[in-house]
Structure 1
Amino acid sequence: MKLILASTSPYRAEQLRRLGLEFEAQDPQVDESVLKEAGFSPENLAEVLALEKAKQVFQQNPDAIVIGGDQLVSFENTILGKPGTKEHAVQQLMSMQGKTHTLITAIAVLGPDLIETHINQTKLKMRSLNQGAIERYVEFDQPLNCAGSYKLESRGITLFEEIDSTDHSAITGIPLIALTSLLIKAGVILP
């Protein structure tokens, strides 16, 4: 059965390659801004976005198994997404220093006879850092397309003093432990 990743994220694609799966990636072309303004809780928003991305691609590929995903940061009753600019990345990181936030990673798996979602929550406590250290980090890692403005798989790990997660792979974009279970349920034969 054809497997499709409803994402253009190079991070999510790399994670699927780690599993040894053959897949193709397609842009789900979902207008996230409409859903972000709908007033969902952070957990529900991530789940709805992951599901909508999978649905968009599944409509064009009804015989495939489609994986959609979304990730956001919940911090002090605010949802932080991708910063887009270095300045915004520095602002996000400065606001979180010395504090704990939640990285919410949602996936949806759709197939001809399957609709499943999973939400992973990771608690991260950031170190207290000065603006110079944060600016140097942003300059090095360029985390402009990463929720929360950091890449833990690179130098972003130095920003944190504690990480509490049931599946560390979720931090990169897909909780692989849950995804593996959902793919087996969908009938995908893993290598």
Structure 2
Amino acid sequence: MDLILASTSPYRRELLSRLRLPFHCLPPGVDEDAMHRLGLPPAELAGRLAEAKADAIARHHPGAVVIGSDQLVAFDGRVLGKPGSPDRAVEQLLTLSGREHELITALAVRLGDRLIRHTEVARLRFRPLSRPELERYVAADLPIDCAGSYKLESLGIALFDRIDCPDHTAIVGLPLIALTTILRDLGVSVP
């Protein structure tokens, strides 16, 4: 069975490769900005984005198992996106400093007419950090392409004093525990 990851994320690619299954990656080409403008609650938005990514690829590969995923940071009921610049990254991190937020990772797996969705919510608490500390972090880790302006799989782990999540792979971008269960349910032999 053909397995496709609807993503260009190197983090998700690395995570999926842990399962030692043959797969390839395709860019889903989903207009994420348009989805963000719908004003959906954060968990629903993440789920809809993951589903849209899986569906975009599945339309052209109807016999494949297509994996879509999306991740976003929810803070005070709003979504914090990818900062896009070092200055915006520092500002986002200052907002989160000393406070708790949620990292929502949604998964959508499509095989033909069958769609299975899963959402993992991690609760993370930042250490109280100063602007100079955060500026040094951003310069060292360059998290401008990451939701919430941090890379947990890298130096960003030092920003936190607590992370509560049942599946630590979800905080990097692809919840492998749930994905393994879903793939088995779809008949994919996972080693």
Query: Normalised by the size of structure 2, how large is the TM-score?
Result: 0.98
Match of 1:120 in 2: 120
Alpha-carbon distance in 2 for matches of 1:130, 1:34: 34
Distance 1:31 1:176 in 2: 25
In structure 2, the partner of 1:106 is: 106
Q: Distance in 1 between matches of 2:113 and 2:27?
A: 23
Distance across 1 between alignment mates of 2:106 and 2:52: 11
Q: Deviations over 1:45-80 (max 9, x none)?
A: 000000000000000000000000000000012201
Equivalence for 2:169: 169
Question: Which residue is equivalent to 1:87?
Answer: 87
Offset, 1:41: 0.4
**Paired residue secondary structure (2:69):** strand
CA contact (8 A) 2:6 2:25 kept: yes
**Residue 118 of structure 1 aligns to a residue in which SS?**
strand
- For residues 103-130 of structure 1, the C-alpha deviation after alignment (integer angstroms, 9 at most, x for no partner) is 0000100002520000000000000011
Q: Matched residues in 2 for 1:26 and 1:80: separation?
A: 25
Measured on the aligned residues, the alpha-carbon RMSD in Å equals 0.7
3-state DSSP class of the match of 1:124?
strand
Q: Secondary structure at the match of 2:56?
A: helix
Alignment of 1:1-191 (within 5 A): 1-191=1-191
| Partner SS, residue 174 of structure 2 | coil
- Structure 2 Cα separation of the partners of residues 137 and 62 of structure 1: 43
State the shift of 1:39 in Å.
Answer: 1.6
Identity %: 51
For structure 1, the residue ranges without an aligned partner over 5 or more in a row are none
Q: Distance in 2 between matches of 1:126 and 1:15?
A: 24
Which SS does the other structure have where 1:63 is aligned? coil
How many angstroms apart in 1 are the aligned matches of 2:187 and 2:81? Answer: 33
